[in-house]
Amino acid sequence: MKSPGLRWTDIWKLAWRGLTRRRVRTLLTTLGITVAVASMVIFLSLGEGIRKVFVSQLGGIGPDVQVSLTPLSQGLALQPNLPQKTADDIQALAPELGIQTVTPVIMAVRGGLEVTQSVVLYGLPAAQGIAAVFPTTTAAQGRALTPADEGAGVAVAGAKAAQNLRLKVGSTLNLNRRNQVKVIGVLAPESGLVDNFIFIPLGTLQRSEGAAGRVSLVAVKLDNPRDARRVADVLSEKLDLEAGTQSDFLSFIDRALIISDAVRFGISLIALIVGGLAVANTVMMGVFERTREFGTLRAIGARPSFVRSLVLTESLLLSLVGGVGGVLLGLAGIAGVNLYTQQLAGIDAAALTPRLVLLALAISLLLGLLSGLLPARNAGRMSIVGALGRI
């Protein structure tokens, strides 16, 4: 590949000199690659960040088993279409399956014109309290739900929900035109998920939703969480219902994110192709303008393979610099995304992981390789006489 007496370091130095001769063109091409790679990094970092959020925040919170009519493959169970007596049926199996608590839950989403005005209403029996499903929650202001609150128009707000809706102890929250609740407590910051919930007594939210005797799901806590898979299978078989574990939910989220990653990568690919064409154009122009130089190199003994290696190295170097710049610019973009999502929901929705960095750099090098093949081929096939005769 290289001529006698020249090392790979010499080829890289010559390639760098060739690029820095036309600094404006090189800079503009590098910026194009940088922006393309940065957009890909930011898009894909959203999937990486959301994965980390769910893995870290669902590990020790929420039910061990969730029973509903809707399989997790179709998303979260929000519609109150499950008979509330299902909780009694599950409770009857508690001694056999090692079930610690059974909690009927009704969920609803309240949205506004702004994303910050959207919250999840989470109704559960006041007698059991929030700790029945989320045991680590504590009240930072006011108090939590008590048995006396069942059916009453009261609510306990998560930290981020209270901040976004400007709620405090004593505030009134309208559920709809006919129903409202009074905030009796605000929870301490717990996790990005729970912080966006507003907890309401089960009967109160059922009345507001017109869902008397019906729930969205039944949350089950086990004496031994490791038995979750076995218990879910038994409940599914005996009750003819959908029973999923935390692992099932995480698998569903991961599958959904894989699809969304593919879509985001496809969008980024358009910018990457444009960046690759810019690299090919820059290198091709460089080959055309340096025809006599390449002819001189051939005349003093350089092999065609050396010329090809030199042009290909320029292309790789250009793409590598753009790739590194894209990762750094992407990191700044990720910081901006997380600043927004922290204010919105208290989570870091984007994350720059090692595999994402490696992917970005690998794609940059592949882009440089493909973009440099044609210019390198043309440069290596030049005849010495024709190249030296070029004006």
Contact between 279 and 23 under an 8 Å Cβ cutoff? The reply is no
Q: What is the DSSP string of 305-368?
A: HHHHHHHHHHHHHHHHHHHHHHHHHHHHHHHHHHHHHHHHHSS------HHHHHHHHHHHHHHH
Report the alpha-carbon distance of residue 12 to residue 314 in Å, rounded: 8
Report the alpha-carbon distance of residue 200 to residue 149 in Å, rounded: 9
Token output for 24: 């404006």
pLDDT digits (tens, 9 = 90+) for 131-187: 888 888 899 999 999 999 999 999 999 998 998 889 999 999 998 888 999 999 999
pLDDT reported for residue 1: 45
Token output for 318: 């250009």
pLDDT digits (tens, 9 = 90+) for 224-271: 988 999 999 999 999 999 998 877 777 777 777 777 778 778 888 887
Looking only at the bridges linking them, the beta strands covering 214-215 and 82-83 are antiparallel
Across 243-257, 287-301, 309-323, least confident range: 287-301
C-alpha atoms less than 13 angstroms from C-alpha of 321 in its C-beta half-sphere: 18
Whether the model pTM is above 0.75: no
| pLDDT(329) > 90 | yes
Report the pLDDT averaged over residues 187-210. 89
